[in-house]
């Protein structure tokens, strides 16, 4: 009987020991994934000062591993429920210098480096990076965005000054979070969603710009029309001058031809009774007499 019992106990032990060993291995083995670093916290001794690189660690039940990603993380605060850490309207409401309120989607890229992971643990305590992002980074982002937003009016923040505002928010977050072990890489304010009076102001501003552009176009058209009219008047005047000059010359020629034709028609075929010779001048008496005096040119002597 004892032999049977011992045999059964031995079989149970033979099976149980590997199973227990496998369970202990799975419970005590912890992995630090690639792109992360780890810190080990002991319940009795506190935080281990060593920073662990990606590897497998075996921990006792009184130890806990905290992993921090060293690759860039994205904290997304958006009104789109399909994205962001909260699946709800999580955009950040910004009040500008003109008391206009606009909701912005904000994206913050950050990471924890091996050199700053100890600072992050001491600043935020033994919580994972997801909790640090949702509980702490979000608060700093909201404060920074609203502090910078008051420096601009609603149109500047939505337009030409948005990049400048992003740089100021990033600089403010660096001052606040770098001493806490969080390294800020980039900050973006995207997808503004104006509400209420802001929409009316935007519509009025757009209409004003449209009217201004239309007025400029109409002024340019009027200037072109005036230039065309001046050029057309100059061209027509020049054409009339050319035509008039040609017509006058033609009229004189035609008049000479007509006079010659009339003279030919009026000639009766007889020659004048007095024919002038060379170097002679014919003087017709103005009293109506038919007597003419012919005198040689250049002298007073002559024959009557």
Q: What is the pLDDT along the chain (304 residues), one digit of tens a residue?
A: 566 555 555 665 555 656 545 455 455 678 888 889 988 888 887 888 889 998 888 878 788 888 888 989 999 888 877 666 665 667 888 888 888 888 899 999 999 999 999 999 889 988 888 889 888 999 999 999 999 999 998 888 888 899 999 999 999 999 999 999 999 999 999 888 876 666 566 666 666 677 778 888 888 888 888 888 888 888 888 877 776 666 555 667 677 777 777 776 676 666 666 666 656 665 655 554 444 444 454 444 444 3
C-alpha to C-alpha distance for 288 and 162, rounded to whole angstroms: 110
Instruction: Extract the tokens encoding 204.
Output: 């009025």
pLDDT at res. 140: 94
In sequence order, what are the beta bridge partners of 227? none
pLDDT at res. 299: 47
With tokens 């990603």, the residue in question is: 69
C-alpha to C-alpha distance for 183 and 173, rounded to whole angstroms: 9
C-alpha to C-alpha distance for 93 and 196, rounded to whole angstroms: 13
Name the helix (H) or strand (E) containing 243. helix 197-266
For the chain, how far is it from start to end, CA to CA, in angstroms?
199
Whole-angstrom CA distances from 304 to 150, 282, 283, 296 are 123, 11, 11, 12
**φ/ψ (deg, to 5) at 287:** -90, 0
What's the whole-model pTM score?
0.58
């Amino acid at each position: 009987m004892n032999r049977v019992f011992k045999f059964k106990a031995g079989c149970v032990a033979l099976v149980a020991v590997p199973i227990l060993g496998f369970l202990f291995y799975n419970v005590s083995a912890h992995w630090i994934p690639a792109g992360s670093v780890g810190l080990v916290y002991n319940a009795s001794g506190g935080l281990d000062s060593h920073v662990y690189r990606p590897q497998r660690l075996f921990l006792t039940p009184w130890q806990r591993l905290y992993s921090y990603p060293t690759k860039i993380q994205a904290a997304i605060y958006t009104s789109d429920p399909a994205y962001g850490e909260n699946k709800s309207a999580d955009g950040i409401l910004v009040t500008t210098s003109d008391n206009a309120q606009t909701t912005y989607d904000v994206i913050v890229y950050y990471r924890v480096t091996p050199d700053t992971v100890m600072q992050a643990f001491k600043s935020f305590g033994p919580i994972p990076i997801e909790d640090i992002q949702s509980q702490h980074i979000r608060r700093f982002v909201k404060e920074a965005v609203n502090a910078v937003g008051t420096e601009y009016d609603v149109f500047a923040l939505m337009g030409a000054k948005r990049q400048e505002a992003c740089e100021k928010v990033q600089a403010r977050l660096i001052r606040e979070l770098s001493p806490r072990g969080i390294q800020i890489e980039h900050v973006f304010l995207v997808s503004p969603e104006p509400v209420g009076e802001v929409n009316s102001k935007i519509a009025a501003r757009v209409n004003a710009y449209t009217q201004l552009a239309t007025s400029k176009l109409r002024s340019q058209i009027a200037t072109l029309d005036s230039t065309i009219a001046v050029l057309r008047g100059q061209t027509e005047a020049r054409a009339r001058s050319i035509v008039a000059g040609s017509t006058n010359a033609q009229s004189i020629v035609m008049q000479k031809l007509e006079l010659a034709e009339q003279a030919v028609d009026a000639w009766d075929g007889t020659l004048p009774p007095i024919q002038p010779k060379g170097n002679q001048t014919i003087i017709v008496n103005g009293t109506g007499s038919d007597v003419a005096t012919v005198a040689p040119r250049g002298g007073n002597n002559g024959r009557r």
